[in-house]
Amino acid sequence: MDDLTLTLILSASLILLFFLSAFFSGSETALISLDRYKLRHTAKRNKGARMAQRLLEKPDRLIGLILLGNNFVNILITQLATFLGFHLGGNPGVAVATGLLALMLLIFAELAPKTLAAVKPEALAYPAARIYTPLLKFASPIVWLANQVANALLRRLGVDPETIEQHTVGRDELRTIVRESKSLIPRNHQKILLSVLDLESTTVEDIMIPRQEISGIDLNDDWDVIEKDIAHSSFTRLLVYRENADQIMGFVHLRKLIPHFKGNTLDKGSLERAIRPNVFTLESTPLTQQLINFQNDQHRIALVVDEYGEIQGLITLEDILEEIVGQFSTDPASISNEIIFKEDGRIMADGGMHIRDVNRQASIHLPTREAKTLNGLVVEHLEAIPVAGLSMLINNYPIEIRKVKNNAVKSLIIYPQLDRPSQE
């Protein structure tokens, strides 16, 4: 064999070994970089993904196989490059070959393939899994022996190699995933998903209708007044009580009263017979649990009580749904003039509005930790009874009280947030 032929054979072998080294390095990064949740979904319809999933169930065997192949190839590359360098240039050729080899291994066998694998892991991992699956069966004795030695060393260091960490995603991680999938999920769908994740940290007290705002039918009123209240009600379910909210008897579905209206037989007796019993819930109940309670009890309304059993408010299924999807009611009583947006950025709001509703509708960030309503927020901040014309700074939002009645804020103005940090 002449020198030219030998040189060509050695060069071609060296190029092939570089490709093999790049394959081992890149496939290792690709397989380790695979998203486990996306892999589970893809494995249902892709054979390469199923193979990759099975390989990753025992990562020590997979890594052992890849390192075994990669090291074997790199040793061959080193020996072959040294021989080729000596063949072409003697001892100086060996020195040049060593320097070029280090640079080429870094670029072509490590940096480039691993970068490509990190950017497009599925494109390399799934085909590689088809190769590694049969190769692992062939090389299993050597891989098993190497793993036994390595695992024994790890156990000496207090690490159990048989324990595979379960990849779980918490609520905060899910929120990050949803926020980062802007290009895949429409903005309104994102808001719904984030609202669902927030339900666990939101309690019934945060969204309930306060006790003083509860309306219904007072059985102590004259029948003409009761009949008028029923006929002009904008709700499908009405609470029924005697004298005040401490003596709530239950609620009545107006649909049950329609036959009596048609037959002109509606009276206090038929009204009382249509009353359904009360359902109670604690104000500290998370919204996720309350949603389940509504589903299990087949109810849509619950009275909210505190730890002493005192009625604090009312919550409905619609309130929880609006917390998820936003306000969808077309009832004029629920839309009213509670909040008005001015062209200069000012917000005029009713003092009885829930802070969460104001934050959501106006896209602002007033604190909700202590108080639930704007009036409560002002009183909590001032630690005194508010007066009209007073201004304050809360969370860098200038707030001006416009109207006070019965020692409570009835209306106020929220100005755009200041850029400078609050000095409070």
Provide the pLDDT for residue 61: 84
d(CA 261, CA 240): 18
**318 and 352 co-located in one domain:** no
- In a domain, residue 171? The reply is no
Amino acid identity, position 178: V
How many domains does one find in the chain?
Answer: 3
The tokens for 334 are 């629920």
Last residue of a domain, one of 323, 347, 374: 323
Domain that holds residue 206: 202-323
> Which tokens sit at 5?
């032929």
Please write the tens of the pLDDT for every residue from 330-365. Answer: 554 444 447 888 888 899 998 888 888 888 888 888
| C-alpha to C-alpha distance for 399 and 412, rounded to whole angstroms | 7
- 78 and 141: one domain? yes
For position 420, what pLDDT does the model report?
58
Q: Which of 133, 156, 179 is the last residue of a domain?
A: 156
Secondary structure element (H or E) that encloses residue 207, with its range: helix 204-207
Closest CA to 348 of 422, 406, 408, 403: 403
Question: Do 362 and 281 share a structural domain?
Answer: no
- The mean pLDDT value for 192-206 works out to 83
When mean pLDDT is compared over 3-7, 157-161, 215-219, 292-296, the highest value belongs to 292-296
Give me the pLDDT at residue 328, please: 63
Is 398 a residue whose pLDDT tops 80?
A: yes
| Distances in whole angstroms, Cα of residue 284 to Cα of each of 154, 201, 372 | 48, 10, 13
> Do 77 and 98 contact (CB within 8 A), yes or no?
no
Highest mean pLDDT among 235-239, 269-273, 401-405 belongs to 401-405
**58 and 150: one domain?**
yes
pLDDT of residue 412: 93
Q: Is residue 318 part of a domain?
A: yes
170 lies in some domain: no
- Tell me how far apart the alpha carbons of residues 270 and 252 are, in angstroms, rounded to a whole number: 11
DSSP label of 35? -
State the pLDDT confidence band at 2, using cuts at 50, 70 and 90.
low
The pLDDT of 314-328, averaged and rounded, is 83
Residues 349 and 315 in one domain: no
Alpha-carbon distance values, 423 to 78, 230, 394, 396, 420 (Å): 66, 52, 10, 9, 9
Whole-number Å distance between alpha carbons of 384 and 379? 6
**Does residue 423 lie within any of the structural domains?**
no
- Do 146 and 66 lie in one domain? The reply is yes
User: pLDDT digit string (tens) for 137-181?
Assistant: 888 888 888 878 887 887 888 777 666 555 566 777 777 777 777
d(CA 387, CA 218): 34
Mean per-residue pLDDT, 179-196: 78
Residue 258 and residue 233 in contact, taking contact as beta carbons nearer than 8 Å: no
Lowest-pLDDT range of 36-50, 197-211, 333-347: 333-347
Q: What whole-number percentage of the chain has pLDDT above 70?
A: 92
pLDDT at residue 161, rounded to an integer: 65
pLDDT given for residue 335 in this prediction = 43
Tokens 């009583």 map to which residue? 333
- Residue 172 covered by a domain: no
Q: How many residues does the chain have?
A: 424
Q: Looking at the structure, tell me whether residues 302 and 354 fall in a common domain.
A: no
Q: Which residues, 6+ apart, have CB-to-CB distance to 83 below 8 Å?
A: 10
The answer on 148 and 12 residing in a single domain is yes
Q: Pick the more confident residue, 424 or 361.
A: 361
Whether 29 and 78 share a structural domain: yes
Instruction: Give yes or no: residues 15 and 124 share one domain.
Output: yes
- What average pLDDT does range 73-93 have in this prediction? 79
Looking at 289, 323, 357, the residue that finishes a domain is: 323
The answer to whether residue 187 is domain-embedded is no
What confidence score (pLDDT) does residue 168 get?
63
* Beta strand pairing call for 237-241 and 216-218: parallel
Question: How much is the pLDDT for 334?
Answer: 46
Residue with the two structure tokens 């087949």: 298
Pairing of strands 347-350, 408-414: antiparallel
Mean pLDDT, the chain, integer: 83
Residue 141 lies in a domain: yes
Answer whether residue 253 shows pLDDT above 70: yes
- For position 164, what pLDDT does the model report? 55
Residue 215 lies in a domain: yes
Q: Reply yes or no on whether the pLDDT at 27 is more than 80.
A: yes
Give the predicted TM-score (pTM) of the model. 0.60
Give mean pLDDT, residues 15-27. Answer: 90
- CATH code, domain carrying 368: 3.30.465.10
Whether residue 247 sits in one domain with residue 122 = no
30 and 129 belong to one structural domain: yes
